[in-house]
Amino acid sequence: MTSRSSWRGRGAAAFLGLVATVVAASCGGASTVNKTTATFAELPGSAPNYILPLAKLQFFSVANLTQFQYLMYRPLYWFGKDGQVQLNDSLSLANAPQYSADGKSVTITLKTYVWSDGQALTSRDVQFWQNLVTANKNNWAAYSPGEYPDNVVSTTINSPTSLTFNLSQPFGSLFFLYNELSQISPLPQHVWDKQSATGAVGDYDQTPAGAQAVYKFLDEQSMSVGTYNTNPLWQVVDGPWKLKSIDTTGNVKFIPNTMYSGPVKPKLTEFDEVPFTADTAEFNLLKGGPTGPNAIDYGYLPEADAVQAQKDAITNLGYSFQPWAGWEVSYFPENFTNPTSGPIFLQLYFRQAIQSLVDQQTYIKRAFNGYAYPTYGPVPVKPTSQFVSPFQQTNPYPFDVTKATGLLQSHGWTVNPGGISTCTAPGTAANQCGAGVPAGAQASFHLEYASGNPAFDAMMAQFKTDLSKAGIQINLSTNTFNTVIGNATPCQTGHPCTWDMEFWGVWVYSPDYYPTGDLLWQTGAGSNSNAYSDPMADQLITATETSNSVQAMYQYEDYLAKQLPVIWMPTTFLQLSMINSHLQGTGPQDPLANIYPENWSWS
Amino acid sequence: MTGYIIRRVIQAVFITLGVTLLVFLLLHLLPGGPARAILGPRANGVQIAQFNHDNGLDQPVWTQYWTYVQHLATLDFGYSYKLNQTVGALLAEDLPKTLVLVGLSYVLAIVIAIPLGIYQAVRRNRIDDYVLTGASFVFYSMPVFWLGIILIVIFSEILRLLPSEGPQGATVGDLFGQFTSLILPVVTLALGTVALFSRYMRSSTLENLVQDYVRTARAKGASEMRVLFFHVLRNALIPILTLIGLSISFIFSGALITEALFNYPGIGLLFWNAAIQQDYPVILGVVVVTGLATILGSLLADVLYAAADPRVRYTKA
């Protein structure tokens, strides 16, 4: 930039002036910015398009929840504090829950909050949510059979500020708070409890049929994106922001809710989210600098451009580079139900051999340019949390070709480095290949991964090379993220099913923040994509749901870290944020993908 | 001619139906189905069943297709699984933007390419013809995304004269309110097309310049300008008219790369994202519109051809 400026400059004075400007910009400067609004870059293809907090799964996304709905409709309990996964008492709408002595009921006491129309937020608003979600659970994204709201038998309103949930059985306080109460969002019953736009507000939610009719009406209203800022329903909010305008392409403008009862009131006069068609388009705007036309204040460096030179170029323009770690883990499942490869994957020694050939540090360094972190088990090692055990903070299976080769050889495989290893000692003895693995079985598999990410391409190419050192051949192919997800389901009788391994990226623990694995690795769980089943794992997962101690979590995660229900891979950041250096109050970034524009101000 | 047009329009309806049937069947051959692709890895069996039921995907394929055709007859293109809008609304929002972008680029290309082609033909095998031919080949062979990035670097990042993104907003009015934002995407698209059209125009003009009617006109004392713009131009335009007619389908199918590069959401990008997300109703909606545009473009080319050349007449065989 300096040389370009000097080329354009004609005199020494002009040159010095430019240099001074560049230096000031690159230092973050003591200058001030005369702005009262801020813009936030949406990720490509993720414009907000569903406003009802009780979202269906196809609308269950960061764009719709944490970066849209939560700005206007606050959850009962807020998670995310100081950049860590923990309850945020200050931002929660209720005091800490009180459990009965037998653990079969929990009482919630609300703090003093009002809706933007001046009406108090009451326990009736929580009950309204409860009734809607119970009667429409199959339409609710976070529903998992047997869990919330199935485990709430009844709700008792004690007073306008207190209610009690009666539970089907005692649950652990951590599990119930982080995974069940975390999902509740009080809704303005006095405005939304109606079945048509012209109908009167009533108590329709008190019967299942009525609650279904109310949900149907609200869902239909939520299908008209362009009317969100004019429809009277959505004008009543309890969060710090109200909608000023929104269009169907994703341009969203928020203004402060002057009635917000929370502890931090917005300082900006407007907060805007802007859509992008592609990472390239966003990056082009970043390169225009924070004062360029349509400049972004809170954007991101695309992963494909995450090299030092590009990072430096953008930060020199006046942006601050801040990688954003999410509450997520990365892995790929091996298909235990594949008739050919499934019996091989079911052998723990074979999974250990594969995991020992995953050179996470090299992938992070070479494929992700350092912008990723290792995964050693089901609980993320970043960000710092109380949930990661001491054992899981180190790699149980560090990269070790010799160990991987030894594991195969000691279990009846003839290892052919650079070629394909074969099972030459079938059987179930300790030194044989294992149940269901026939003589001549080949260590040759197909791995399909999500396309469009150069870092994935580089990582997978290196992984293929690493596996070949122990004679494990993988044939790589790519497909769209959605297709990879679609393929990764357990085989069913009568349906063709040939996949061996599918890699799509990460699993995000949200809005069930307690990383119990009940949705992922419990026998028969909805998202158990490779049909992993282990009675001990089931028992440990159940213990995480009923124990009040984090020790139960440690036992569960240590076991799965060793048992390898999937192969752990490096986890990428949520995004590599580029934030206008003059924009204050943006950090630390929330691992649960929440944003707090009410904290932002200009220096 | 009227009978010919009516026959072609009727033909277009059947061809469009055939295209929808083909695409419909191909979509249903995709492994996994749209439910898990749309709902993501969190989806459990109950939610997948609910999604399939809500969207009629638990019905036999023929029933689904018949339902789709019935809706299509009333111009109901269905509802996007992912975008929370009717396909009709999505088309109504994105198609005009693409028409503006690609339409303007074609107009610009034609305005530049036709005189350029004639000029090159007149100046054939001289230094300026060689330079322009070289430039044409450079622009024609340059990938659109590369050309777009170069223009952004020069005009947005170095000179800071033009915005690096296209106009933002949901309506066509929004687009024209930010006219300077249209310049780079339009020019990016137009430069390649200028190269194509000017090459055709040059060849066509050269062919006509050696025809007997040109020699006759000159022998009768017509000025060179009159020969060129009164006699040669009309005949030389015939292949260009065909080219323009056939290009109409491109106007409707969008300019995916340009749209992505300049943050300009049009129908090309809509189709691309729908294909990735297995959003069947959107895919089918765009296919129907593009199919119709292709057929009508071809028809338009035939009509223009006949209008430009009186020797061409369409009669029933």
Would you say residue B313 lies in a domain? no
pLDDT over 60 (residue A37): yes
pLDDT tens digits, A114-167: 999 999 999 999 999 999 999 999 889 888 888 999 999 999 999 999 999 999
The neighbour count for residue A19, using CB atoms within 10 Å, is 14
Q: Which helix (H) or strand (E) holds B112?
A: helix B87-122
Per-residue tokens: B298: 């071809």
Query: Is B276 in contact with A226 (Cβ distance < 8 A)?
Result: no
Q: Are residues B267 and B224 in the same domain?
A: yes
Taking contacts as CB-CB distances below 8 angstroms, the residues of chain B near A50 are 84
pLDDT tens digits, B145-189: 899 999 999 998 888 889 888 888 777 777 887 888 999 999 999
User: Dihedrals φ, ψ of A88, to 5°?
Assistant: -105, 95
User: Dihedrals φ, ψ of A307, to 5°?
Assistant: -115, 160
Task: For chain B, give the longest Cα–Cα distance.
Answer: 85
Q: Given this model, what pLDDT does residue A368 score? A: 92
Q: Which of A56-60, A117-121, A378-382 has the highest mean pLDDT?
A: A117-121
Would you say residue B79 lies in a domain? no
| Domain total in chain B | 2
Q: Are residues B101 and B248 in the same domain?
A: yes
pLDDT over 60 (residue A18): no
Q: Are residues B172 and B295 in the same domain?
A: yes
Whether A133 has its CB under 8 Å from any CB of chain B: the answer is: no
Whether A46 has its CB under 8 Å from any CB of chain B: the answer is: no
Q: Are residues B15 and B94 in the same domain?
A: no
- State how far the Cα of B126 lies from the Cα of B124, in Å rounded to an integer: 6
Domain coverage including residue B107: 87-308
Would you say residue B82 lies in a domain? no
CATH of the domain at B296: 1.10.3720.10
Q: Given this model, what pLDDT does residue A277 score? A: 86
Q: Which of A222, A280, A489, A521 to mutate to test the interface with B (most CBs of B within 10 A)?
A: A280
Q: Are residues B296 and B154 in the same domain?
A: yes
Which of B51, B263, B278 lies nearest to residue A482, judging by beta carbons?
B278
Taking contacts as CB-CB distances below 8 angstroms, the residues of chain B near A479 are none
How close, in Å, is residue B183 to chain A by CA atoms?
15
- Kindly state the average pLDDT of the residues A251-266: 96
User: Dihedrals φ, ψ of A76, to 5°?
Assistant: -60, -45
Query: Is A483 in contact with B278 (Cβ distance < 8 A)?
Result: yes
pLDDT tens digits, A274-322: 999 888 899 999 998 998 778 999 999 998 888 888 999 999 999 999 9
- Kindly state the average pLDDT of the residues A536-543: 96
pLDDT tens digits, B286-303: 888 888 888 887 777 777
- Kindly state the average pLDDT of the residues B263-272: 86
Would you say residue B316 lies in a domain? no
Q: Given this model, what pLDDT does residue B15 score? A: 85
Q: Which domains does chain A have, with CATH numbers?
A: 1-31 (no CATH), 32-44+240-326+575-602 (3.40.190.10), 57-235 (3.90.76.10), 328-572 (3.10.105.10)
Q: Are residues B178 and B29 in the same domain?
A: no
User: Dihedrals φ, ψ of B34, to 5°?
Assistant: -75, -20
Domain boundary residue, one of B24, B47, B73: B73
Would you say residue B295 lies in a domain? yes
Whether A491 has its CB under 8 Å from any CB of chain B: the answer is: no
Q: Are residues B193 and B225 in the same domain?
A: yes
pLDDT over 70 (residue A13): no
Per-residue tokens: B134: 């070289």
How close, in Å, is residue B253 to chain A by CA atoms?
17
pLDDT over 60 (residue A331): yes
Do residues B174 and B167 touch, judged by C-beta distance below 8 A? yes
pLDDT over 50 (residue A16): no
Q: Which of B38, B50, B157, B164 to mutate to test the interface with A (most CBs of A within 10 A)?
A: B164
- State how far the Cα of A565 lies from the Cα of A533, in Å rounded to an integer: 8
Which has the higher per-residue pLDDT, B81 or A398?
A: A398
CB-count exposure of residue B49 (10 Å: 0-12, 13-18, 19+) = middle
The neighbour count for residue A457, using CB atoms within 10 Å, is 15
Q: Name the nearest CA neighbour of A38 among A255, A260, A302.
A: A255
Q: Are residues B299 and B186 in the same domain?
A: yes
Q: Are residues B69 and B91 in the same domain?
A: no
Taking contacts as CB-CB distances below 8 angstroms, the residues of chain A near B149 are 280
Q: Which of B28, B42, B81, B152 to mutate to test the interface with A (most CBs of A within 10 A)?
A: B42
Domain boundary residue, one of B73, B104, B125: B73
**What integer best gives the mean pLDDT of chain A?**
91
How close, in Å, is residue A275 to chain B by CA atoms?
8
Do residues B189 and B250 touch, judged by C-beta distance below 8 A? no
Domain boundary residue, one of B45, B73, B101: B73
Would you say residue B299 lies in a domain? yes
Q: Are residues B16 and B165 in the same domain?
A: no
Q: Given this model, what pLDDT does residue A23 score? A: 41
pLDDT-derived band at A493 (thresholds 50, 70, 90) equals: confident
Would you say residue B241 lies in a domain? yes
Query: Is A294 in contact with B259 (Cβ distance < 8 A)?
Result: no
Q: Are residues B66 and B101 in the same domain?
A: no
Which of B47, B85, B260 lies nearest to residue A225, judging by beta carbons?
B85
Query: Is A285 in contact with B164 (Cβ distance < 8 A)?
Result: yes
Whether A293 has its CB under 8 Å from any CB of chain B: the answer is: yes
Question: Worst-scoring range by mean pLDDT, A353-362, A441-450, A594-603, B277-286?
Answer: B277-286
- Kindly state the average pLDDT of the residues A491-499: 81
Query: Is A248 in contact with B89 (Cβ distance < 8 A)?
Result: yes
Do residues A50 and A64 touch, judged by C-beta distance below 8 A? yes
Q: Given this model, what pLDDT does residue A7 score? A: 30
Whether A507 has its CB under 8 Å from any CB of chain B: the answer is: yes
Query: Is A287 in contact with B164 (Cβ distance < 8 A)?
Result: yes
Q: Which of A15-29, B13-27, B60-74 has the highest mean pLDDT?
A: B60-74
Whether A371 has its CB under 8 Å from any CB of chain B: the answer is: no
pLDDT over 60 (residue A24): no
Q: Are residues B276 and B165 in the same domain?
A: yes
- State how far the Cα of A260 lies from the Cα of A114, in Å rounded to an integer: 7
pLDDT-derived band at B5 (thresholds 50, 70, 90) equals: confident
Per-residue tokens: A310: 């590009």
- State how far the Cα of B249 lies from the Cα of B19, in Å rounded to an integer: 14
Would you say residue B317 lies in a domain? no
Q: Is the dihedral of CA A296, A299, A305, A309 positive or negative?
A: positive
pLDDT over 60 (residue A17): no
